[in-house]
Structure 1
């Protein structure tokens, strides 16, 4: 029954042809997605780094980071204003890098006549805009491919990225992160009829797809080098956006996809011919990414996340967008408890 409901709710998404159209649209709209109004120029650097010394200090502290505590490196919450927040308020809108083709997270619902972006990450971006600017609609969305998330932040094209972005030690050297807002882990997606059982020896001789610049590819590359993955596993297929891997899988160009379990579950919901294989083999946390040195913005976002968890906003968004994919009983169904440095 649930499969039929999902397929009914996602008419136009399940087929290969429709998925290819979606990916083509993603490329066409990759530069700019205004939500409420158009702006002719890229968003200016909202204050940038407060000082070179601050940025270097953040990088130095990130040097003590380990995979086990990467999510615990963010600044404590505060409502105090600063140069970055002041610049955003003076401009009058929040510029946010998002995905537009990840079902449940950030996507254009084909059954929505307005064509507005919807999803769990989109809800969070609206909440941040509401708390900083007093209006949830004062947000400009920019579609950012996976491998462009960090460059978009560092160049000042966006104030932040809210796009299923895992907090890692390497990324902490390049951008600042909020406290974690979602728990996930890497997982394998493959056709239901595939002999692949999970992230194990059944991937021998198989072609695996991942997104360029993703933690999935980082794990595949490292594990193949150290022998965790069979030497015959082909990990050469990489794409700008993780949804492109699903299209490659549907077309038979690859045998499996490795991506975050939360995203893999959403892709399985889009196409009942594929399924998750085995459990997650890592533990990872999504965070809101911002520019190094934008301490006032980081602290404000952490304050917003604290309130978002406490007032039920996080849970309401999860129930609406994700309860049918990771599930109500999933470890991901509870927001992670933050620890600040």
Structure 2
């Protein structure tokens, strides 16, 4: 409980003010005011071919890249409450995590400075509106690529593979994403793929929706819900915060995280894919493997894990 409260008590990042921005993901006023086998995805979860296929990498400067360079900052929508992914390190007060490392790599490539970033904390349900309204340039926030989201935003190639799974107290009688959920209060984050999965197949559970994933963990600790459905990669971090909870059953989807961007910012999509090409293969301290070992390996116990291979559509 103390670990979760420590994360929720930190001051928020720069506020995510609402407003209409310029095309390509740039805010109109860019001011500083601010691991079991994985089952197939749920039937009907994706209806478009190869949703993980993205634009081929290119380092050319288009309109979106030029706006970012003119502003001198990359505006990134992130989480600050997901342990190991995007959170405030209580020892240093600095934002850190696997997703944050990737943001820094993108800023380094585009602006020549990994610290040239304005971080904006956004809840799960605000990720797409923030991009469409131009309040952020990119969202790097454990965001699953799927067909429904591709109708509204663009994605990079996949940078991580995860799956939906159930997190519950260690003394639970819940056995997984199955009929043992009947009558149980099951928490998901609003706008998440977990919420969509529970709508399609609830197994008689009582869905509880909250703005952010960590809110589910707090409710579970307070006894207000009986279980959580979320990405197993996120759940592993939550279990590391609170050893009284555990993952149960097996993952029932296969999902891929991508960097989300405004659909009009095609040059930025290609540039991020160029960054990811080097990030996957790099051997330095900022490379994918080094970041995985630094942030995720201890909880996921997946030594030797690698990034998903990229897929391209043109």
Q: TM-score range by the shorter chain?
A: 0.7 to 0.9
Match of 2:36 in 1: none
Match of 1:118 in 2: 96
Query: Aligned partners of 2:84, 2:49: CA distance in 1, in Å?
Result: 27
Alignment map for 1:46-125 (pairs within 5 Å): 47=24, 66=47, 69-72=50-53, 74-112=54-92, 115-125=93-103
1:285-327, Cα deviation, whole Å (9 max, x unpaired): 0000000111100000000000001113000000000001112
Match of 1:6 in 2: none
1:335 aligns with 2:307: yes
Number of residue equivalences: 291
Q: 2:278 aligns with which of 307, 315, 321?
A: 307
Match of 1:180 in 2: 158
Q: Identify if the C-alpha distance between structure 1 residues 67 and 325 changes in structure 2 by more than 3 Å, giving closer, same or farther.
A: farther
Consecutive aligned runs of 4 or more in structure 1 exceeding 4 Å deviation: 40-44, 46-49
C-alpha contact (below 8 Å) 1:85/1:297 kept by paired residues:
yes
Could you tell me which runs of 5 or more consecutive residues in structure 1 were left unpaired when the two chains were aligned.
Answer: 1-13, 34-39, 50-64
1:339 is displaced (CA, Å) by 0.9
1:264 aligns with 2:245: no
Query: Structure 1-normalised TM-score?
Result: 0.81
1:134-185, Cα deviation, whole Å (9 max, x unpaired): 1111011000000000011111110010000000100000000000000001
Larger helix proportion of the pair: 1
Query: Aligned partners of 2:101, 2:127: CA distance in 1, in Å?
Result: 19
Query: Aligned partners of 1:124, 1:327: CA distance in 2, in Å?
Result: 21
C-alpha contact (below 8 Å) 1:46/1:85 kept by paired residues:
no
The RMSD of aligned alpha carbons is 2.1
C-alpha contact (below 8 Å) 1:46/1:159 kept by paired residues:
no
Query: Structure 2-normalised TM-score?
Result: 0.88
1:32 aligns with 2:15: yes
Query: Aligned partners of 1:293, 1:151: CA distance in 2, in Å?
Result: 14
Q: 1:190 aligns with which of 164, 168, 176?
A: 168
Query: Aligned partners of 1:125, 1:198: CA distance in 2, in Å?
Result: 34
Match of 2:297 in 1: 323
